[in-house]
Chain A
Amino acid sequence: MSTNYINKKNCFILIPVYNEGKSIFKVINQIKKLGYKNIIIIDDGSTDKESKSLGKKGVYYARHCTNLGQGASLGTGWKIASLLGAKCLIAMDGDGQHDPGEINKFINKINRGYDVVLGRRKFDGEVPLFNRIATEIAKYLMWAVYGIWVNDSQSGFRAYSKKAIDDIAVEASGYEFNSKVIAETVRKKLKYTEVGIKTIYNNHSLKKDKRQSLYNGLATFFKLVFSI
């Protein structure tokens, strides 16, 4: 078997968090139960009480002294994964929207030779209407700005191979990070694919979405169009 074969031991899970104290511990426990030991948590300047004990959970932990945005946390986590010699990096949300049980789908694709695997959310059930519309708009915007067609450019559940970790360099603080990573993937001629994933909506993520979705949607839209 190749030494580059990705398994639970050489794969790193990256979770950016901001005031996710209510859900992150459950997510960490679920991931550990599945046998993944390398978990990187980037605390993006959380102010909730629960997040203070994140560093004691047996994970690789780093903290931004102020809130910068999801993209900045992913960027920091990306560099830390590279420092730790990760052969595969899986990025996922800390609010419980992503099912850790689906991580193996991503690893399978990386082991088949893909460099970037993008999670494609299934929009059924109780997914808020705004999120469905925003994802559709983001899809066409991605095509208009970068000329790349992907079904879900904003999904945070993704996997990157060692080559992608080394080759992709994106500097963005907000949600535009995800779109820019796809653009870089295409620019660097890396092999990418999409896998279908479940999207779990709990009380915490629904509340968070209501607070953030409109602002983040508009900010991402303008940053993509004008950043540029």
Chain B
Amino acid sequence: MITTNFFLTAARILVFVISAGFLFDRSKKYFLKKDRQTFIKYATTLVVWMSILLSTFYTPFFNESDTGSLLLFYMLILAFVLIFKLLNMIERAEDKIAQIVKYDAIMDFKSKKNKNAKNK
């Protein structure tokens, strides 16, 4: 029978893997100087994701026996990660749309300019 403890352990592992993955990815980007990572961005990432990672071992605000609250806590963290990723994807989609609109405006400008030059 699947118990709350099973879900709690699964959620802990999932949160641990995600936060470790984020920390590794950002550290790699920072030390390889990719994506214009600055010290402030890297430090913010370290504080946020290190806290989340540590929470999979030790949760000062909850009693270890209160599995329901702990499970809820990890679910909230996972929801936060999902929302963050979703916002990130929306932002990237917006950037792509902006690139297309800007390209279109420049191409239209160029063709009008060429047309005017021919007419002259």
**A interface residues (Cβ-Cβ under 8 A, vs B):** 42, 60-66, 68-69, 72, 75-76, 79-80, 83, 144-146, 171, 173, 225, 228
Determine whether the beta carbon of A62 is less than 8 Å from that of B101: no
Closest residue of chain B to A65, judged by CB? B101
Instruction: List B contacts of A72 (CB < 8 A).
Output: 98, 101-102
Instruction: List B contacts of A225 (CB < 8 A).
Output: 44
Determine whether the beta carbon of A76 is less than 8 Å from that of B105: yes
Given A80-B106, A80-B109: A171 and B101 interface contact (C-beta under 8 Å):
no
Tell me the dominant secondary structure on chain A's binding face.
Answer: mixed
Closest 4 CB pairs of A and B: A62-B109, A62-B105, A76-B102, A173-B98
Number of A-B contacts (CB under 8 A): 48
Given A80-B109, A173-B94, A173-B95: A145 and B40 interface contact (C-beta under 8 Å):
yes
Determine whether the beta carbon of B98 is less than 8 Å from that of A68: yes
Determine whether the beta carbon of B106 is less than 8 Å from that of A62: yes
Residue B38, interface by CB 8 Å: yes
B36 CB to closest chain A CB, in angstroms?
8
Residue B108, interface by CB 8 Å: yes
Contact of B41 among A60, A65, A76, A228 (CB under 8 A): A228
Determine whether the beta carbon of B106 is less than 8 Å from that of A145: no
